[in-house]
Amino acid sequence: MFNFKEFFKGIKAGLPVCAGYFSVSFGFGSMAVAQGLSILHSILISATNLTSAGQFAGLTVIVSGATVLELILTQLIINSRYSLMSVALGQKFGQKVGFWKRIICAFFNTDELFAIGMSRKEPLSPTFFVGAGVISWVGWTSGTALGAIAGSALPLDIRASLSVMLYGMFIAIVVPEVKKGKAMLVNMLLALIFSCLFAWVPGLNQISSGLVIVICTVAAAAICAILFPVKQEVA
Residue 148 and residue 222 in one domain: no
Domain hosting 60: range is: 4-176
What is the dihedral sign for C-alpha 84, 42, 47, 154?
A: positive
Q: Is residue 144 part of a domain?
A: yes
Render pLDDT for 56-92 as a digit per residue (tens, 0 to 9). 878 877 887 777 877 887 788 778 788 888 888 888 8
Total count of domains within the chain: 2
Residue 139 and residue 223 in one domain: no
Residue 116 and residue 191 in one domain: no
**Of 155, 176, 197, the domain-final residue:** 176
Residue 153 and residue 219 in one domain: no
Residue 209 and residue 156 in one domain: no
Q: Is residue 233 part of a domain?
A: no
| Residues counted in the chain | 235
Residue 36 has pLDDT above 90, yes or no: no
The residue among 110, 127, 151, 120 whose CA lies nearest residue 28 is: 151
What is the dihedral sign for C-alpha 101, 102, 103, 106?
A: positive
**Of 152, 176, 200, the domain-final residue:** 176
Q: What is the pLDDT of residue 235?
A: 43
What is the dihedral sign for C-alpha 83, 87, 93, 95?
A: positive
Residue 17 and residue 48 in one domain: yes
- The answer to whether 120 touches 10, Cβ cutoff 8 Å, is no
Q: Is residue 234 part of a domain?
A: no
Residue 233 has pLDDT above 50, yes or no: no
Residue 39 and residue 132 in one domain: yes
| pLDDT mean over 103-108 | 92
Residue 219 and residue 165 in one domain: no
Is this model's pTM higher than 0.85 or not?
no
Residue 163 and residue 119 in one domain: yes
**Of 135, 161, 176, the domain-final residue:** 176
Q: What is the pLDDT of residue 33?
A: 85
Q: What is the pLDDT of residue 220?
A: 85
